[in-house]
């Protein structure tokens, strides 16, 4: 039981990271109906930016961990969102209204570019960062080495995710940008006719998605301390699975899907086999799409005849 | 066999969530007739079509087709493509659905898929071009040529369907449906968007289908000229219910129908008529 | 043309502004990732700064954007002049076709006279040009392919590249059935390639059967996998199908990686039996190919043989595809790509139709996999990663979905450019990725974007791309 609880806590922390990445997929899919294939790699770029920003801060003498983390968060969000914007501007905007496959192919192209660019710039070797946030709290202690613990970094991840999610929900539901985004999601053409600057709204969507992915990237870096140029692909597919599981286009769905995928993956590794944990995530994706293509919180789709 | 029902709907009900699109609808279409289904926008006509052709599964009720050979099919239990394949019910669509990138001729060949598939030995004979398959393909092209001629599209046979003018696309869709050798042809607003001359030509085409082929016709139409001129029987729907049924002349004068179209209550019509007379 | 163009100075100012913005964005993008290097060579992670690299990268973006802006500003004029020159060149080439060919022939004769040892190459080149002029591009391609080993017999490196190119042509044609004709987006095609390669390797090693027995078995296995995957997933539409096939491809790779007893895991399977000439091995021994046919032993014999094997397999793929397109099943695939609902209304079983496309595409992928295994003699899961699927899909889309010639050209271009950039090993994937983006922006429907009708009453007219749908899945 305590093992199960412990794994649940680990799963929720992991799931928060997936959820943050999943929001980027779900928003873009909701608005322009395409899978932003490069989003997983944006997440990967976010981890690298966070790593380098942290090392720079240490080098210039910012050693107070909370301050450093806050600054890293800001820098990572700023610079990663610039990547999100640039990818949209270069690879997707010229293809808007074009054939459906074209943006998908150029997204795959962008994904290849980002991976190999980071490999070129920072080398193929795995980067390791010593743990910055240490300390654990014991939740239950049943003696005999049966303890359930939550670490500070897990608390940090869960709290940051909660804060970002509430901020983001507010953005979508209460600001004029959020209204524009919802309008674009409903009907892009009509929104254009009614004077919504759709290019700007779509750009901002990519920007926000990338910013959230960079936060996820920073959390990933702090949680695992090991990154390389390749992590974006699998993380991206899992986050996309999360978005689909929750119901693509739905923001709470993306978060819920992220948590579920995180939990399932953690349980699977804990109880079955670590080697096949990715198979678990992929199989869930297939099963969900076949039996529940609209996801948990998605709107059912009636086929128009 | 003529005069017996080919299609009978019994207590058909279709519900989308809280919306009752078709409410306990029953009617029959007679063999060899042109039966028209009319009603104001949103009356549920296309939904009836989608239930008959299997694109929607009705919530309850039954749909029966009795073929010339006496075989009876329960359509509500068959998936869409089997209704076309086994029962030979063909349809057209309100917003034209042609294979736009394929030529008019190719569209008509796709419609003969099941016949050609059998003749090609499920692709095996076809791959090696056996004489049997070649003659089957020639026959298929002849049938296509026949319907292209009937629909005055022979000149455009080798043009992509997407490049044809609107009226021609409507005719091509009918030709494509006819190439499946249907016993029941369901036409969803075939005259929509046609000019008066084209709509006269449509009348001629539908009459010749009625007289020269085994197909009976079920038709949704807003163009009252078409409905009144060619249909043998008219069924009027409003809010998913049948409100009137009979010959075109009868329906035209039915108070309930007028009320439904004008959007007023029945006694309001009486009142209006009284006022006019006074 | 006659429309007034803004003055040159204003164009310049505009371009400068664009370039400045691009430079600032590039600075933001590059400052951390290029400006600093995380180095862990000695001890813990530390930073090295690279100001020169950063400055040059930003400079390149600035200059590049400036040039693009200027060109873009004069795009209309530029296009006009280019089109004019091109049409003049083409017009002249067509008008003076025979004199030009005669001049070429004279040059060829001179070349053979002065460099007699290269006569096969010269002869093949001349023949190809003649065929191209007389019978068109496809015929010239076929002829060049058949005579390629004659022209390049002394050049095993070229032969090797040609074999790789033909493998990709075959994979492209196989995937073209699924994506181009049936409009089903498959991002996991490499899984079938892997199934073909592994089933070939395992069957050949375990039972010692010959290549020609194992090859069809490998294809059948791959087709079986295609049906196995296709059955549950083919009702999904468009992007969902793409993601599910991607997931399936990854699952296959992970299973190959971890099922060590069966696949030998990450170490791969080595010493796979080599293809033999119908039982006669390509060895230097007395019962080898060379000895049996009274030739001097030469390792190129095997390469040439492999070349013709893959050429035959690719041509088989092509022939089957061309035949199938004109059969009801092929027409149903294309109809499905155009409008699935209409297909259903005509009594065509959509699932079966999709399944046949999937299975046949998978089968050709399996054949290619078996060939890959026998050519390499060694396979490991590393050869069957997602980028490989992306590459094959890119070939199909760049070539123009549904066009056999376009796919072949794209496969050759991609393989050749990969070889050309081999010197810039690290850069080539970045360049490749950008290439995909640029070509999509330039020609979203690929190089050859017309469709040939499969039947006609009076005349065969090619169908321009604006009418052709690309499928929803």
Domain boundaries, chain C: 8-86, 99-143, 158-467
Q: What is the arithmetic mean of pLDDT over A199-212?
A: 90
Residue B15, domain member (yes or no): yes
Q: How far is it, in rounded angstroms, from Cα B209 to Cα B200?
A: 14
Predicted confidence (pLDDT) at residue A78 exceeds the cutoff of 90:
yes
**H or E element: which one contains B19?**
strand B19-30
| Rounded alpha-carbon distances, angstroms, from residue A187 to A28, A31, A196, A198 | 14, 8, 11, 11
Could you tell me which residues come within 8 angstroms of residue C17 by beta carbon, excluding any fewer than 6 positions away? none
Looking at the complex, does the CB of residue B46 fall below 8 Å from at least one CB of chain A?
yes
Closest CA to A44 of B225, B183, C33: C33
Q: What is the pLDDT at residue C2?
A: 43
Q: What is the pLDDT at residue B267?
A: 60
Rounded to the nearest angstrom, the minimum Cα separation between C461 and chain B is 7
Q: How many inter-chain contacts (A to C, CB under 8 Å) are there?
A: 180
What value, to the nearest 5°, has the Cα angle with vertex A20 and ends A15 and A25? 115
* A-proximal residues of C, 404-443, CB under 8 Å: 426-427, 429-430, 432-437, 440-441
Rounded to the nearest angstrom, the minimum Cα separation between C237 and chain B is 17
Rounded to the nearest angstrom, the minimum Cα separation between A146 and chain C is 32
Q: What is the pLDDT at residue B253?
A: 81
Looking at the complex, does the CB of residue C331 fall below 8 Å from at least one CB of chain B?
yes
Which residues, in sequence order, are bridge partners of residue B246? B234
Lowest mean pLDDT among B60-64, C92-96, C198-202: C92-96
* Half-sphere exposure for C39 (CA within 13 Å, toward CB): 11
The chain A residue lying nearest C37, using CA atoms, is A122
Q: How far is it, in rounded angstroms, from Cα C391 to Cα C384?
A: 11
Indicate yes or no: CB of B46 within 8 angstroms of CB of A302.
no
Q: What is the arithmetic mean of pLDDT over C177-190?
A: 88
Q: How far is it, in rounded angstroms, from Cα C235 to Cα A303?
A: 13
Predicted confidence (pLDDT) at residue A23 exceeds the cutoff of 70:
yes
Indicate yes or no: CB of B110 within 8 angstroms of CB of C335.
yes
Q: What percent of chain C has pLDDT over 90?
A: 14
Predicted confidence (pLDDT) at residue B110 exceeds the cutoff of 70:
yes
Phi, psi of B171 (to 5 degrees): -65, -40
Q: Which residues of B are less than 8 Å from C467 in CB distance?
A: 100-101, 160-163
| Count of the separate structural domains present in chain B | 2
User: Could you tell me if B108 and B132 lie in one domain?
Assistant: yes
Full strand arrangement of the beta sheet holding B233-238: B89-91, B184-188, B216-220, B34-38, B233-238, B241-246
Indicate yes or no: CB of B114 within 8 angstroms of CB of C463.
no
Looking at the complex, does the CB of residue C235 fall below 8 Å from at least one CB of chain B?
no
- Chain B neighbours (≥3 Cβ pairs under 8 A) are A, C
What value, to the nearest 5°, has the Cα angle with vertex C161 and ends C157 and C167? 145
**H or E element: which one contains C104?**
helix C97-114
Tell me the three-class secondary structure of chain A, residue by residue: CHHHHHHHHHHHHHHHHHHHHHHHHHHHHHHHCCCCCCHHHHHHHHHHHHHHHHHHHHHCCCCCHHHHHHHHHHHHHHHHHHHHHHHHHHHHHHHCCCCCHHHHHHHHHHHHHHHHHHHHHHCCCCEECCCCCCCEEEEEECCCCCEEEEEHHHHHHHHHHHHHHHHHHHHHHHCHHHHHHHHHHHCHHHHHHCCCCHHHHHHHHHHHHHHHHHHHHHHHHHHHCEECCCHHHHHHHHHHHHHHHHCCCCHHHHHHHHHHHHHHHHHHHHHCCCCCHHHHHHHHHHHHHHHCCCCCCCCCCCCCC
Looking at the complex, does the CB of residue B47 fall below 8 Å from at least one CB of chain A?
no
Secondary structure tally for chain B: helices H, strands E: 12, 10
Residue B62, domain member (yes or no): yes
Per-residue tokens: B140: 């298929």
User: Could you tell me if B193 and B120 lie in one domain?
Assistant: no
Which residue in A302, A303, A305 is closest to B93 by CB distance?
A305
| Highest mean predicted confidence (pLDDT) among A14-23, A127-136, A283-292, C36-45 | A14-23
User: Could you tell me if B228 and B242 lie in one domain?
Assistant: yes
* Token pair 């155009």 in the structure block, residue: C338
Q: What is the pLDDT at residue A184?
A: 84
The chain B residue lying nearest A303, using CA atoms, is B55
Tell me the three-class secondary structure of C357-377, residue by residue: HHHHHHHHHHHHHHHHHHHHC
User: Could you tell me if B275 and B210 lie in one domain?
Assistant: yes
Residue B234 sits in a domain whose CATH number is 3.40.50.300
Closest CA to B148 of B117, B109, B184: B109
Q: Which residues of B are less than 8 Å from A302 in CB distance?
A: 16
Per-residue tokens: B52: 């008959």
- The chain-wide mean pLDDT, for chain C, equals 83
Closest CA to C191 of C103, C254, C128, C108: C254
Q: Which residues of A are less than 8 Å from C235 in CB distance?
A: 290
Indicate yes or no: CB of B109 within 8 angstroms of CB of C341.
no
Residue B129, domain member (yes or no): yes
Q: How far is it, in rounded angstroms, from Cα B28 to Cα A30?
A: 45
pLDDT tens digits for C302-342? Answer: 888 888 889 998 999 999 998 888 888 889 998 988 888 89
The chain C residue lying nearest B141, using CA atoms, is C457
**Which of B87, B88, B103 best probes binding to C when mutated, by most C CB atoms within 10 angstroms?**
B103
Closest CA to C306 of C296, C295, C314: C314
**Which of A99, A299, A303, A305 best probes binding to B when mutated, by most B CB atoms within 10 angstroms?**
A305
* Token pair 């092509």 in the structure block, residue: C318
Rounded to the nearest angstrom, the minimum Cα separation between B163 and chain C is 7
Predicted confidence (pLDDT) at residue A178 exceeds the cutoff of 80:
yes
Which residues, in sequence order, are bridge partners of residue C36? C49
Q: Which of B156, B180, B204 is the last residue of a domain?
A: B180
- Name the band, by pLDDT with cuts 50, 70 and 90, for residue B277: low
- Name the band, by pLDDT with cuts 50, 70 and 90, for residue C381: confident
Q: How far is it, in rounded angstroms, from Cα B23 to Cα B13?
A: 5
Rounded to the nearest angstrom, the minimum Cα separation between B254 and chain A is 32
Q: How far is it, in rounded angstroms, from Cα A216 to Cα C53?
A: 29
Q: What is the arithmetic mean of pLDDT over C179-193?
A: 88
- Name the band, by pLDDT with cuts 50, 70 and 90, for residue B236: confident
Q: Are C149 and C302 in contact (CB under 8 A)?
A: no
pLDDT tens digits for C126-140? Answer: 788 877 777 777 787
Predicted confidence (pLDDT) at residue B265 exceeds the cutoff of 80:
no
Q: What is the pLDDT at residue C470?
A: 59
Residue B131, domain member (yes or no): yes
Query: What's chain A's length in residues?
Result: 305
Predicted confidence (pLDDT) at residue C228 exceeds the cutoff of 50:
yes
Rounded to the nearest angstrom, the minimum Cα separation between A248 and chain B is 21
**Which of A42, A56, A112, A229 best probes binding to C when mutated, by most C CB atoms within 10 angstroms?**
A112
Cα–chain center distance at B37: 10
Q: How many inter-chain contacts (B to C, CB under 8 Å) are there?
A: 148
User: Could you tell me if B191 and B275 lie in one domain?
Assistant: yes
Predicted confidence (pLDDT) at residue B147 exceeds the cutoff of 70:
yes
Phi, psi of B233 (to 5 degrees): -150, 145
Q: What is the pLDDT at residue B278?
A: 57
Q: Which residues of C are less than 8 Å from B176 in CB distance?
A: 346
Closest CA to C21 of A89, B37, B274: A89
* Token pair 């910055």 in the structure block, residue: A132
Q: Are C454 and B106 in contact (CB under 8 A)?
A: yes
Closest CA to C100 of C126, C65, C61: C126
| Highest mean predicted confidence (pLDDT) among A183-187, A217-221, C14-18 | A217-221
Pairing between strand B5-16 and B19-30?
Answer: antiparallel
Indicate yes or no: CB of C344 within 8 angstroms of CB of B160.
no
Q: What is the arithmetic mean of pLDDT over A85-111?
A: 86
User: Could you tell me if B186 and B277 lie in one domain?
Assistant: yes
Predicted confidence (pLDDT) at residue A59 exceeds the cutoff of 70:
yes
User: Could you tell me if B188 and B271 lie in one domain?
Assistant: yes
Q: Which residues of C are less than 8 Å from A34 in CB distance?
A: 239
Predicted confidence (pLDDT) at residue B2 exceeds the cutoff of 70:
no
Residue B93, domain member (yes or no): no
**H or E element: which one contains B15?**
strand B5-16
pLDDT tens digits for B14-28? Answer: 888 778 888 888 888
Q: What is the pLDDT at residue C236?
A: 78
Q: What percent of chain C has pLDDT over 70?
A: 94
- Name the band, by pLDDT with cuts 50, 70 and 90, for residue B271: low
Predicted confidence (pLDDT) at residue C400 exceeds the cutoff of 70:
yes
Which residue in C33, C45, C236 is closest to A289 by CB distance?
C236
* Half-sphere exposure for A219 (CA within 13 Å, toward CB): 28
Predicted confidence (pLDDT) at residue B7 exceeds the cutoff of 80:
yes
Q: Are B243 and B236 in contact (CB under 8 A)?
A: yes
Q: Which of B124, B149, B180 is the last residue of a domain?
A: B180
Rounded to the nearest angstrom, the minimum Cα separation between C87 and chain A is 28
Residue B36, domain member (yes or no): yes
Q: What percent of chain B has pLDDT over 70?
A: 91
Q: How far is it, in rounded angstroms, from Cα C302 to Cα C376?
A: 12
Lowest mean pLDDT among B68-77, C269-278, C366-375, C461-470: C461-470
Predicted confidence (pLDDT) at residue C472 exceeds the cutoff of 80:
no
Q: How far is it, in rounded angstroms, from Cα B85 to Cα B90?
A: 9
User: Could you tell me if B122 and B44 lie in one domain?
Assistant: no
**Which of A106, A131, A230 best probes binding to C when mutated, by most C CB atoms within 10 angstroms?**
A106
Phi, psi of B27 (to 5 degrees): -165, 170
Rounded to the nearest angstrom, the minimum Cα separation between A141 and chain C is 36
User: Could you tell me if B1 and B84 lie in one domain?
Assistant: yes
Closest CA to C274 of C217, C205, C224: C205
Indicate yes or no: CB of B103 within 8 angstroms of CB of C348.
no
In this predicted complex, what is the ipTM?
A: 0.85
DSSP-derived secondary structure for C156-205: HHHHHHHHHHHHHHHHHHHHHIIIIIS----S-THHHHHHHHHHHHHHHH
Q: Are A206 and C209 in contact (CB under 8 A)?
A: no
Could you tell me which residues come within 8 angstroms of residue B214 by beta carbon, excluding any fewer than 6 positions away? B68, B181, B183
Q: How far is it, in rounded angstroms, from Cα C451 to Cα B103?
A: 10
Rounded to the nearest angstrom, the minimum Cα separation between C228 and chain B is 20
pLDDT tens digits for B168-220? Answer: 898 899 999 998 888 888 888 888 888 888 888 888 888 888 888 888 888 88
Indicate yes or no: CB of C435 within 8 angstroms of CB of A293.
no
pLDDT tens digits for B238-247? Answer: 888 888 888 8
Q: What is the pLDDT at residue C458?
A: 76
Looking at the complex, does the CB of residue C445 fall below 8 Å from at least one CB of chain A?
yes
Q: What is the pLDDT at residue C48?
A: 83
Phi, psi of A22 (to 5 degrees): -60, -35
Residue B77, domain member (yes or no): yes
pLDDT tens digits for C344-368? Answer: 888 898 888 999 999 999 999 999 9
Looking at the complex, does the CB of residue B272 fall below 8 Å from at least one CB of chain C?
no
The chain A residue lying nearest C47, using CA atoms, is A55
Indicate yes or no: CB of A103 within 8 angstroms of CB of C440.
yes
Which range marks the domain in which residue B225 is found?
1-88+182-278
pLDDT tens digits for B20-52? Answer: 888 888 888 888 888 888 887 777 888 888 888
Closest CA to A118 of A203, A214, A227: A227
Residue B218, domain member (yes or no): yes
Looking at the complex, does the CB of residue C83 fall below 8 Å from at least one CB of chain A?
no
Could you tell me which residues come within 8 angstroms of residue A164 by beta carbon, excluding any fewer than 6 positions away? A20, A212, A215
User: Could you tell me if B73 and B106 lie in one domain?
Assistant: no
DSSP-derived secondary structure for B123-180: THHHHTT-HHHHHHHHHHHHHHHHHHHHTT-GGGTTSBGGGS-HHHHHHHHHHHHHTT
Could you tell me which residues come within 8 angstroms of residue C296 by beta carbon, excluding any fewer than 6 positions away? C290
Looking at the complex, does the CB of residue B206 fall below 8 Å from at least one CB of chain C?
no
Q: Which of B180, B199, B231 is the last residue of a domain?
A: B180
User: Could you tell me if B120 and B82 lie in one domain?
Assistant: no
Predicted confidence (pLDDT) at residue C267 exceeds the cutoff of 60:
yes
- Name the region of B88 (left: φ>0; alpha: ψ -120 to 50; beta: rest): left
User: Could you tell me if B52 and B76 lie in one domain?
Assistant: yes
Cα–chain center distance at A126: 21
Q: What is the pLDDT at residue A45?
A: 95
Q: What is the arithmetic mean of pLDDT over C178-202?
A: 89
Q: What is the pLDDT at residue C194?
A: 93
Q: Are A258 and A20 in contact (CB under 8 A)?
A: yes
List Cβ<8 Å contacts ≥24 apart for B67-74: B67/B6, B67/B183, B68/B1, B68/B31, B68/B183, B68/B214
């Amino acid at each position: 039981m305590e093992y199960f609880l412990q794994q649940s806590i680990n799963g929720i922390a992991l799931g928060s990271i997936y959820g943050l990445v999943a929001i980027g997929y779900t928003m873009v899919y909701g608005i322009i109906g395409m899978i932003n294939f490069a989003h997983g790699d944006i997440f990967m770029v976010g981890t690298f930016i966070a790593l380098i920003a942290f090392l720079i801060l240490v080098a210039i003498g910012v050693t107070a961990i909370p301050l450093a983390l806050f600054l890293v968060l800001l820098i990572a969000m700023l610079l990663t969102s610039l990547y999100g914007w640039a990818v949209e501007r270069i690879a997707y905007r010229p293809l808007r209204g074009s054939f459906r496959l074209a943006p998908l192919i150029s997204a795959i192209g962008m994904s290849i570019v980002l991976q190999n660019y980071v490999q070129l710039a920072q080398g193929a070797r795995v980067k390791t960062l010593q743990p910055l946030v240490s300390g654990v709290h014991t939740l239950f202690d049943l003696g005999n080495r049966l303890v359930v613990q939550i670490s500070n970094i897990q608390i940090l991840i869960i709290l940051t995710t909660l804060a970002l999610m509430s901020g983001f929900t507010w953005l979508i539901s209460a600001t004029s940008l959020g209204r524009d985004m919802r309008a674009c999601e409903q009907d892009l053409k009509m929104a254009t006719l009614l004077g919504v600057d759709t290019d700007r709204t779509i750009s901002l969507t990519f920007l926000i998605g990338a910013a959230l992915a960079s936060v996820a990237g920073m959390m990933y870096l702090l949680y695992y301390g090991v990154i390389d140029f390749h992590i974006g692909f699998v993380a991206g597919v899992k986050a996309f699975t999360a978005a689909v599981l929750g119901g693509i286009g739905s923001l709470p769905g993306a978060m819920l899907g992220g948590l579920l995928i995180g939990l399932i993956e953690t349980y699977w590794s804990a109880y079955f086999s670590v080697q096949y944990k990715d198979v678990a995530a992929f199989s869930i994706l297939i099963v969900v799409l076949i039996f529940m293509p609209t996801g948990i919180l998605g709107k059912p789709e009636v086929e128009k005849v | 066999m003529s005069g017996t029902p080919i299609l009978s709907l019994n207590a058909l009900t279709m519900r989308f969530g809280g919306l009752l699109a078709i409410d306990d609808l029953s009617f029959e279409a007679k063999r060899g007739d042109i039966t028209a289904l009319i009603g104001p926008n949103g009356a549920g006509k296309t939904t009836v079509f989608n239930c008959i052709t299997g694109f929607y599964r009705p919530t309850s009720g039954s749909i029966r087709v009795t073929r010339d050979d006496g075989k009876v099919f329960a359509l509500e239990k068959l998936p869409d493509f089997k209704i076309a394949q086994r029962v030979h019910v063909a349809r057209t669509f309100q917003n034209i659905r042609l294979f736009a990138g394929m030529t008019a001729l190719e569209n008509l060949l796709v419609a003969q898929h099941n016949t050609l598939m059998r003749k090609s030995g499920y692709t095996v004979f076809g791959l090696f071009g056996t004489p049997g398959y070649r003659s089957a393909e020639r026959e298929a092209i002849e049938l296509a040529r026949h319907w292209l001629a009937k629909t005055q599209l022979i000149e455009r046979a080798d043009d992509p369907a997407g490049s044809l003018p609107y009226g021609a696309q409507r005719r091509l869709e009918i030709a494509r449906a006819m190439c499946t050798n249907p016993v029941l042809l369901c036409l969803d607003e075939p005259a929509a968007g046609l000019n008066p001359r084209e709509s006269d030509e449509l009348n001629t085409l539908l009459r010749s289908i009625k007289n020269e082929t085994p197909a009976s016709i079920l038709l949704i139409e807003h163009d009252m000229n078409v409905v009144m001129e060619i249909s043998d029987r008219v069924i009027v729907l409003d809010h998913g219910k049948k409100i009137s049924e009979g010959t075109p002349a009868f329906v035209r004068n039915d108070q309930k129908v007028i009320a439904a179209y004008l959007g007023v209550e029945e006694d309001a019509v009486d009142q209006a008529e009284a006022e006019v007379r006074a | 043309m006659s429309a007034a163009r803004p003055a040159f100075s204003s164009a310049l100012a505009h371009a400068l502004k664009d370039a400045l913005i691009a430079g600032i964005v590039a600075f933001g993008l590059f400052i951390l990732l290029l400006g600093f290097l995380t180095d862990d060579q000695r001890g813990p992670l530390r930073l090295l700064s690279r100001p020169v690299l950063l400055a040059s990268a930003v400079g390149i973006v600035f200059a590049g954007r400036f040039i693009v802006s200027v060109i873009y500003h004069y795009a209309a004029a530029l296009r006009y002049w280019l089109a004019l020159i091109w049409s003049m060149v083409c017009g002249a080439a067509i008008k003076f076709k025979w004199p030009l060919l005669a001049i070429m022939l004279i040059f060829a004769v001179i070349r053979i006279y002065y460099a007699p040892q290269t006569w096969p190459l010269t002869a093949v080149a001349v023949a190809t040009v003649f065929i191209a002029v007389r019978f068109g591009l496809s015929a010239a391609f076929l002829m060049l392919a058949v005579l390629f080993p004659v022209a390049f017999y002394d050049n095993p490196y070229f032969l090797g590249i040609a074999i790789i190119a033909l493998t990709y042509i075959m994979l492209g044609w196989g995937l073209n059935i699924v994506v181009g004709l049936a409009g089903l987006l498959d991002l996991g095609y490499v899984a079938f390639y892997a199934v073909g390669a592994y089933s070939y390797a395992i069957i050949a090693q375990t039972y010692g059967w010959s290549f020609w027995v194992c090859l069809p078995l490998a294809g059948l296995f791959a087709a079986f996998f295609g049906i196995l995957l296709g059955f549950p997933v083919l009702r999904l539409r468009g992007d969902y199908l793409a993601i599910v096939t991607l997931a399936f491809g990854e699952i296959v790779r992970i299973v190959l990686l971890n099922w060590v007893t069966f696949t030998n895991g990450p170490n791969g399977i080595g010493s796979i039996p080599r293809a033999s000439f119908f039982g006669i091995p390509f060895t230097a021994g007395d019962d080898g190919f060379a000895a049996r046919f009274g030739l001097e032993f030469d390792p190129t014999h095997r390469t040439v043989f492999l070349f013709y094997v893959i050429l035959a397999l690719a041509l088989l793929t092509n022939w089957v595809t061309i035949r199938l397109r004109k059969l009801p099943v092929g027409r149903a695939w294309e109809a499905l790509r155009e409008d699935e609902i209409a297909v259903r209304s005509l009594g065509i079983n959509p699932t079966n139709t999709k399944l046949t496309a999937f299975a046949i595409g998978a089968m050709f992928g399996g054949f290619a996999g078996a060939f890959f295994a026998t050519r390499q003699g060694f396979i490991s899961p590393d050869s069957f990663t997602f980028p490989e699927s992306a590459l094959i899909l890119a070939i199909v889309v760049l070539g123009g979905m549904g066009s056999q010639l376009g796919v072949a050209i794209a496969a050759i271009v991609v393989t050749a450019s990969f070889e050309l950039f081999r010197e810039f090993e690290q850069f080539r994937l970045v360049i490749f990725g950008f290439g995909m983006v640029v070509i999509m922006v330039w020609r979203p429907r690929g190089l050859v974007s017309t469709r040939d009708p499969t039947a006609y009453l009076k005349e065969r007219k090619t169908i321009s791309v604006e009418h052709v749908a690309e499928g929803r899945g």
